[in-house]
Structure 1
Amino acid sequence: MTIHGDHPFLPPENERSPVRRFRGRLPSPVGLWTTAHEGERAGLTVSSMLVADGEPGYVLGLIDPDSDLWETLRKARTAVVALLGEPHRQLADAFGYVAPAPGGPFRLIDWTDTDWGPAPAGAITWAGCTLVDPDPPEVGWAVQVQLEIVHVELAADDVPALVHRRGRYVTI
């Protein structure tokens, strides 16, 4: 067996989308979106997202319409958006389905059940949100999900933010 430094499913450079490569050069926050409905939990690492300040505030994100997260979020209509930091790389990979998580990614850390879904226990900043539209517009490969921020938990200790750029995690 040989271990390669490159991603095993990465297409050759001449076959990669120039738009995706353009987007990849933008630093993006790494968030973990989680939800639960009738005992079923779902989560997904999301880096195509932004937060809009205001009264109320919103989180906008691009979500794979075929993901378990989207299927469950449409039913639950609530979600937790957690901001991941340097210590959460393994969690980000597990919920991004690019790293193994025996028993599922929800077994990697402790969780607190909230009115909006499972929130990572401990010092992680997160927001409890409600889904604005269960039939959002399609944008490229994704659906453009809009969540209204209802509740915010700010971590006491600010850990270096995890950012995704050019297929890798970096911290700022």
Structure 2
Amino acid sequence: MTIHGDHPFLPPESERSPVRRFRGRLPSPVGLWTTSYGGKRAGLTVSSMLVADGEPGYVIGLIDPDSDLWETLREARTAVVSLLGEPHRQLADAFGYVAPAPGGPFRLIDWTDTAWGPAPVGVSTWAGCTLVDQDPPEVGWGLQVQLEIAHVELVADDVPALVHRRGHYGTI
């Protein structure tokens, strides 16, 4: 067996979509979207997202329509959007389903149940949100999901923000 430094399922760069390569050159925030419904928890690492300020504010993200997150979020209609920092790389990979998480990614850390879903203990910035539309438009490969921000937790700002660029994590 040989261990490679590259992702084993990633096609060669010359075979990748030029639009995806263009997007990959933009630094993106690393968010963790979590929800629960009927005793089932679901989560997904999301870097294709933005926050729109206003009254109310919104989080807009591209979500895989086949993901467990979307299936559960559509039923729950609420979610927690957490902004991950440097200490959360393993959590980001586990919820992005690119790293092992024995027993599932929710077993990696402790969680606080909120009115919007599970919030990860140790993540200093998160928002409790409500789903705007159960039938969002398709955009590219995903669904353009809009969440209305109902509550924001800003505990500390001393953790470097985790960003994703060209398949790798970095910090700001």
TM-score by length of 1: 0.98
CA distance in 1, matches of 2:14, 2:123: 42
CA distance in 2, matches of 1:118, 1:87: 19
RMSD of the alignment, in Å? 0.7
CA distance in 1, matches of 2:91, 2:145: 22
Query: 1:1-172 maps to which residues of 2 (within 5 A)?
Result: 1-172=1-172
Moved more, 147-156 or 77-86: 147-156
State the Cα deviation string for residues 85-112 of structure 1 (Å, max 9, x = none).
0000000000000000000000000000
Gaps of 5+ in 1: none
CA distance in 1, matches of 2:123, 2:142: 30
Superposition misfits of 4+ residues, deviation over 6 angstroms: none
Identity of aligned residues (%): 89
TM-score by length of 2: 0.98
> Cα offset for 1:14?
1.8
Gaps of 5+ in 2: none
> Cα offset for 1:123?
4.2
Q: How many residues align?
A: 172
> Match of 2:40, as an amino acid?
E
CA distance in 2, matches of 1:87, 1:4: 24
CA distance in 2, matches of 1:49, 1:76: 20
> Match of 1:106, as an amino acid?
F
